[in-house]
Amino acid sequence: MPLKKYKPYTPSRRAMLSTDYSVLTGGPVPKSLTEPKKKSGGRNNTGHVTVHMRGGGNRQKYRKVDFMRRENGEAEVMALQYDPNRSAFIALVRYRSSGKLSYVLAPEGVRVGATISAGEGAPIKEGNALPLKRIPDGALVHNIEVQPGAKGKLVRAAGTYAQVMAKEGKRCIIRLPSGEMRYVPVECYATIGRVSNPDHENVKLGKAGRTRHLGRRPRPRPMHMNPVDHPMGGGEGASKSGRTPCSRTGVPAKGYRTRPKGKAKLHLVKDRRSK
């Protein structure tokens, strides 16, 4: 999908690149598939700021996306819509047997009027959800479950995909977008194809106002903060001596491993850092 450029009638427009939403059909959002989304502004129940640089933004409603994909039978794609809660587009589908409406992640290439289905007997086609044991090696998949019935949790961002590498008994080897290879039970469901909106990573907001619309407040550099606000703050002028780059909570920023030892490597085949 191409990106949309603008005539540079202001300095911010000159650098702006936005997604071309011409592929979307819009349409009404069913009330049964939405719920209120209350914003906290980064405050906890006592009113203290626990997550900084949050606040404001446009009012949003949360869309209930079906990541389980356990509804058997064919479903027709009724509309492709924008979802303010995620980078990927979502598809509104209607199941032919029950008439039920549902939201699913829109795979790349699926258009309005197309038919998608789920289950062990579903054909190998983009947008269909099947157990990994039924998906051939080399296929591109997304929305992958980690445990059977625990809904898809891996590979859900715009333009991402994983690849089915091989099957070993009750386990399947999946190559994730980071290059990491992991074991996943073959009973877990995954959706065939790539997630929609692959050009999301190339979008340029162009101005600070669009960042504020997303609910993000200005983020000053830590070196310019006070010592009470950040470990890297304080000092006379631009002093950097003795300051280890770190987060607000003191976690080193460059090369420090934060993955827990042992547990995370239980299902690991190849680390993303290994050559």
User: What is the rounded distance in angstroms from the CA atom of residue 40 to the CA atom of residue 44?
Assistant: 7
Which amino acid belongs to residue 12? S
- What pLDDT digit, counting tens, does each position of 216-227 carry? 999 999 889 999
Query: Taking Cα atoms as reference points, which of 188, 20, 192 lies closest to residue 114?
Result: 192
Token pair listed for 6: 């603008």
DSSP per position, 53-88: SB------EEE-B--S----EEEEEEEEE--TTSSS
Q: How many CA atoms lie within 13 A of 125 on its CB side?
A: 12
Which residues lie closer than 8 Å to 52 by C-beta, 6 or more apart? Answer: 42, 219, 248
pLDDT of 209 above 70: yes
- Going by pLDDT thresholds of 50, 70 and 90, the confidence category of residue 261 is confident
With H, G, I as helix, E, B as strand and everything else as coil, classify residue 96: coil
DSSP per position, 41-57: TTB-TTS-BSS-SB---
pLDDT of 264 above 80: no
Tell me the C-alpha to C-alpha distance, in Å, between residue 60 and each of 22, 35, 89, 214. Answer: 22, 10, 15, 10
Which residues lie closer than 8 Å to 152 by C-beta, 6 or more apart? Answer: 67, 68, 69, 142, 143, 144, 145, 189, 190, 191
Write down the pLDDT at residue 195.
97
Write down the pLDDT at residue 187.
96
- What pLDDT digit, counting tens, does each position of 53-112 carry? 999 999 999 999 999 999 988 999 999 999 999 999 999 999 998 899 999 999 999 999
The ranges assigned to domains in the chain are 3-201, 220-233+244-275
pLDDT of 1 above 80: no
- Going by pLDDT thresholds of 50, 70 and 90, the confidence category of residue 158 is very high
Write down the pLDDT at residue 257.
86
pTM: 0.90
- Going by pLDDT thresholds of 50, 70 and 90, the confidence category of residue 235 is confident
Q: What are the φ and ψ backbone dihedral angles of 117, each rounded to 5 degrees?
A: -150, 170
User: What is the rounded distance in angstroms from the CA atom of residue 73 to the CA atom of residue 190?
Assistant: 16
* Mean pLDDT, rounded, for 193-201: 95
pLDDT of 240 above 90: no
Query: Residue 210: which H helix or E strand, with range?
Result: helix 208-213
pLDDT of 44 above 80: yes
CB atoms within 10 A of CB 269: 16
User: What is the rounded distance in angstroms from the CA atom of residue 7 to the CA atom of residue 14?
Assistant: 7
* Mean pLDDT, rounded, for 155-170: 96
Which residues lie closer than 8 Å to 78 by C-beta, 6 or more apart? Answer: 27, 91, 92, 93, 94, 101, 112
- Going by pLDDT thresholds of 50, 70 and 90, the confidence category of residue 275 is low
- High-pLDDT (> 90) share of the chain, %: 78
Options 2.60.40.3500, 2.60.40.10, 2.40.160.40, 2.30.30.30; which CATH number does 3-201 get? 2.30.30.30
Is the torsion defined by CA of 69, 75, 76, 79 positive or negative?
negative
Average pLDDT of the chain? 92
Q: By the 8 A CB rule, do 102 and 72 touch? A: no
With H, G, I as helix, E, B as strand and everything else as coil, classify residue 252: strand
Write down the pLDDT at residue 238.
79
